[in-house]
Amino acid sequence: MLDIRSLVFPDVKLIRWKRIVDGRGYFAETYVRRDFAATGIAQEFVQDSESRSDAAGTVRGLHFQISPFAQAKLIRVLRGRIFDVVVDLRRSSPDYGRTIDVELTAETDEQLFVPSGFAHGFCTLQAGTEVMYKVDAAYSPEHERGILWSDPTLAIRWPVLEGDAILSEKDRALPLLHDLPVYFV
């Protein structure tokens, strides 16, 4: 059974699934296509990806892909905790450029659904954090884009200071939001 609620952006959803716990541990169905489709999430996921961040304060993102490989994502923490951020990139949206954040942990039985048209990123809150993503379009380096995680116009209250964040060189070089072309109407 799923409990799905919309966040500030109606298309971005926080999904809670149910664990069945016994003396051995637990069992859970974290994705059943039929159940997701019944709640309006009808994407066909085609790729699972996983990341592990060895240190707290690791920032990944803010990433997205453009058409024809724009991706919807279903994000779940397998181990540890993250500060997860979503940015609305739909130029015609009244929420264009606005952000939301949510903390996801391995213990809360929650996932975050992010449709295409949004940038996504996170900061690890614990060492050894592992995150799994389901996406509805395969990764395409030619269509990968991003926004600088520390863009001051986004005013994201990251849980790590800019000088202490651990980032890839690629993520350090991402453009500011106002420098992006229109990718999503």
3-class SS shares of the chain: helix, strand, coil, % to 5: 10, 45, 50
- The full set of domain ranges for the chain reads 45-179
> Which SS3 state, helix, strand or coil, does residue 116 take?
coil
Query: Given this model, what pLDDT does residue 4 score?
Result: 85
Examine the residue annotation and report whether 120 is marked as an active-site residue of this protein.
no
| Interatomic CA distance for residues 52 and 135, integer angstroms | 17
| Interatomic CA distance for residues 57 and 166, integer angstroms | 6
26, 96, 120, 133: the active-site residue: 133
26, 31, 63, 139: the active-site residue: 63
- Residues in the chain predicted with pLDDT less than 50, given as ranges, are none
CATH code for the part of the protein at 45-179: 2.60.120.10
What is the pTM for the complete model shown?
0.93
Query: Given this model, what pLDDT does residue 5 score?
Result: 87
Nearest to 177 by CA among 93, 61, 89: 89
**How much is the mean pLDDT over the chain?**
95
Q: List all residues 6 or more positions away from 20 whose beta carbon is below 8 Å from its beta carbon.
A: 26, 27, 28
Query: Given this model, what pLDDT does residue 52 score?
Result: 98
pLDDT in tens, 74-105: 999 999 999 999 999 999 999 999 999 999 99
| Interatomic CA distance for residues 58 and 55, integer angstroms | 6
Examine the residue annotation and report whether 31 is marked as an active-site residue of this protein.
no
Query: Given this model, what pLDDT does residue 1 score?
Result: 66
